[in-house]
Structure 1
């Protein structure tokens, strides 16, 4: 009898887990799958929400699956149905409609929720968002933001982190006047140093985003505007809150499962209950941080291999971090640990820190090397350098001796670049070079798929999943596709791959 696996959460990571299980068990002989999603929408690409706000994509276009996906995959899918409790002794989940569902294995992929700071006026008495206030976390939030942020209007964005800046840039592109309030001395303080933040703030200013640092919102009143703690009042029509997220751990916590700033998991994605597992933003594993899609995908792959028996030795050991800002006209990547400075705890004599700063042209580059390996970088406005740096970070290869060339993007002349950068000469790119980090798709995997008949971008993406995560590698996939279409047979031999 198939093992009954219940998945709570139909976001990107929950959906990927289902796909991975069915990849190992297409006929459903080993696992029956039931998925509950609290949102009414089927799974969609949450990473592309900022592009929806900017007008580059429609809400319908970011869906992950076609309407009959669940039926074809032998999956019972119920959207708009919230799980309210876990009955661990009975191994059942209780649902908001009064029914319940038994499980043999329970997978929590509940993600995270937007955090609303305790600013007067942001919440109504019943705890709902007040008039003129929106968060930025899901598809319904996008619709609300677009309703509030009409062309010619004025919006304040609370939070100068990744999502806040993406929302601000998207709204400005729609003709909205935007002010970003950030309570810290510089933007994206978890990923950027002060120098990079200053260049980024200036670049955003040129695009029409007003950035105010070390300022917090004090009170929101729709009739008066947004009062700030520096004594000023912003005359704005709406407030978009992007002040951070919190893992959705209530189900686990209420059921007595160990929680500490996330559902605690081991390398097998197991919790303190051996029949309950957690993946994605709701999970806390020592080898990663929440908020990025790649760790969730890798966790889903590990857990699917374990629960189907296809890979009983699978373990999740963490994900090297690459963060990209998805905002039109701004190319920013933060890699590994870029905030190390000389004198830091582990910054011994083997650590090199190099910088290049060109604020007038919106460019900033910083690389952190240790024992001739790249361990951190900030790349703003230098896409060629960013792509080379990410390639070196992924491979762990020694960096070129010409550090300045690496900093300026000239260390690998004539070679293709990957991980979202331009592709100049794919024939010279190693077969193992990662093109799509989210889905761990190499150049060699794309070549294999092409030889098997996937001879356009859409087909390559469908077969390999390249470009279906954060979307930053789409230009690289397109460039490789163009090269494959024009390449001579000899170029596609094993030596060239």
Structure 2
């Protein structure tokens, strides 16, 4: 085997990052064995879309990811309890007992675990959650919520969960310690638009408040008020799952520290996804996890690759709100290290539309958009590609600027569906394999099944491919004969 090519790869974790890594190892021709160890008893599923299962619009089975290519082996209900770096073993436990599994290369894809705030009454002495309290990390957490629900935390997940529960008909109170939901990402103008949208949906929003105590049936806020609580849903952030790495003596800061080749300080152990802390940021998104999986699969099969960060917009799953944000949108205008930074703002309070776009040398440095779905799609593509934007800024903000999408305009690795990390090349291959059938394309790739904002871009790409298929000569026919 060439240098850098490995035989037995063991992956700890069975989430989207691990699933993607196995797919890409197969794509790159990895001939060794791959063993995936998942502690849940169900097959891998698309965790970022959990709120669609929460609101009942998507059955749980629809989130299941496609079966992995052979000869990958997936062992469910298996928990890794220790790593023996010297002997290259992982020690596991399951209903069948304990065992040790040898690896040539070990990949940690252990994800993240919910942060549980210090609220009186939410935990038993053994650290398990009290009755009526849950977080939102697995499909089991999406079981129906009877009665009144208090959602603690107004970040992206908290806002998504509150809206999802309300769509299902629940009585929902969203308690958030910031001045408005998603205050770490959104300025006051768009934050107030989001709060108003949630309230009109039927979610009661209490900003600047925290829950300090809980008992079944009641929560107490920091202003002394008590609110009815049949369910307390904790959406108070995630922490990278690093305990295995730390116990094995691998360097951990916030996450498992890796270099641009996604290696820990043990060259036989790598980390990707929510548990990893690479030198280039963008941790905590499925786009970053899948791009890391792509890079690692290439490296483990002897190709040149390195992870240099991920540029992807964030589209909270709030159907009807049309919210998107990306990059740095709050940097003040001016010169910085030979670059020119400018910010454009568009506000339409009557129409509840808002856009803030920050450009650095004519490229999107950051943006926040609300109520502008076409602009969100356009700006998101320009940002992800890192290309100079059109000169007409208003046209761009209103979504009228042409979005690169055709076969000649975008590279094959351009990501068009960020929720499911589907590239242009993958879409075109699936389109041809599915004979241009839209339903089959969606079922095969899952493109457009997340936030839905990529639908027009994907349809446009397929339309371009259809035209080309109609006018190009048949394969293997000389041009002069055709």
Q: TM-score w.r.t. structure 2 length?
A: 0.89
Alpha-carbon shift at residue 222 of structure 1 (Å): 1.2
Alpha-carbon shift at residue 369 of structure 1 (Å): 1.3
Q: 1:80 to 1:478 in 2, by over 3 A?
A: farther
Give the Cα separation in 1 of the matches to 2:372 and 2:349.
12
Alpha-carbon shift at residue 481 of structure 1 (Å): 3.7
> Where do 1:30-69 residues align within 5 Å?
31-65=32-66, 69=67
Give the Cα separation in 1 of the matches to 2:443 and 2:457.
16
Alpha-carbon shift at residue 445 of structure 1 (Å): 5.6
Give the Cα separation in 2 of the matches to 1:435 and 1:340.
27
SS of residue in 2 equivalent to 1:269: coil
Give the Cα separation in 1 of the matches to 2:379 and 2:210.
35
Alpha-carbon shift at residue 236 of structure 1 (Å): 2.1
Contact 1:48–1:471 (Cα < 8 Å) also in 2 = no
Q: Which residue of 1 aligns with 2:480?
A: none
Q: Which residue of 2 aligns with 1:202?
A: 196
| 1:107 paired to 2:97 | no
1:275 equivalent among 268, 293, 314: 268
Q: 1:271 to 1:346 in 2, by over 3 A?
A: same
Q: Which residue of 2 aligns with 1:18?
A: 22
Q: Which residue of 1 aligns with 2:358?
A: 368
Give the Cα separation in 2 of the matches to 1:335 and 1:429.
26
Contact 1:192–1:339 (Cα < 8 Å) also in 2 = no
Q: 1:288 to 1:75 in 2, by over 3 A?
A: same
Q: Which residue of 2 aligns with 1:138?
A: 138
Deviation per CA, 1:304-352: give whole Å up to 9, x if none. Answer: 111122x1x2111111141111122111110211122347x95998222
Contact 1:202–1:362 (Cα < 8 Å) also in 2 = no
SS of residue in 2 equivalent to 1:155: strand
Give the Cα separation in 2 of the matches to 1:428 and 1:253.
46
Contact 2:282–2:311 (Cα < 8 Å) also in 1 = no
1:356 equivalent among 346, 354, 378: 346
Task: Name the Cα RMSD after superposition.
Answer: 2.7
Alpha-carbon shift at residue 461 of structure 1 (Å): 4.8
SS of residue in 1 equivalent to 2:315: strand
Segment of structure 1 superposing worse, 348-357 or 241-250 = 348-357
Q: 1:458 to 1:274 in 2, by over 3 A?
A: farther
Give the Cα separation in 1 of the matches to 2:81 and 2:442.
36
Give the Cα separation in 2 of the matches to 1:162 and 1:110.
21
Q: TM-score w.r.t. structure 1 length?
A: 0.86
Give the Cα separation in 1 of the matches to 2:337 and 2:213.
43
Alpha-carbon shift at residue 235 of structure 1 (Å): 1.4
SS of residue in 2 equivalent to 1:246: strand
Deviation per CA, 1:181-235: give whole Å up to 9, x if none. Answer: 1112232123211211111111111111111111010101114x11000121111
SS of residue in 2 equivalent to 1:195: helix
Give the Cα separation in 2 of the matches to 1:317 and 1:250.
26
Q: Which residue of 1 aligns with 2:12?
A: 8
| 1:216 paired to 2:210 | yes
Alpha-carbon shift at residue 428 of structure 1 (Å): 10
Segment of structure 1 superposing worse, 128-137 or 369-378 = 369-378
Q: Which residue of 2 aligns with 1:423?
A: none
SS of residue in 1 equivalent to 2:194: helix
Alpha-carbon shift at residue 90 of structure 1 (Å): 1.2
Q: Aligned pair count? A: 465
Give the Cα separation in 2 of the matches to 1:24 and 1:95.
29
Segment of structure 1 superposing worse, 95-104 or 447-456 = 447-456
Which blocks of at least 5 consecutive residues in structure 2 are unaligned? 475-482
Deviation per CA, 1:27-57: give whole Å up to 9, x if none. Answer: x63x211111011111001111011111110
Give the Cα separation in 2 of the matches to 1:193 and 1:348.
27
| 1:430 paired to 2:401 | no
Alpha-carbon shift at residue 462 of structure 1 (Å): 6.5
Q: 1:470 to 1:383 in 2, by over 3 A?
A: closer
Give the Cα separation in 2 of the matches to 1:445 and 1:84.
37
Contact 1:202–1:359 (Cα < 8 Å) also in 2 = no
Q: 1:128 to 1:35 in 2, by over 3 A?
A: same
Q: Which residue of 1 aligns with 2:479?
A: none
Give the Cα separation in 1 of the matches to 2:383 and 2:325.
11
SS of residue in 2 equivalent to 1:290: coil
Which blocks of at least 5 consecutive residues in structure 1 are unaligned? 419-425
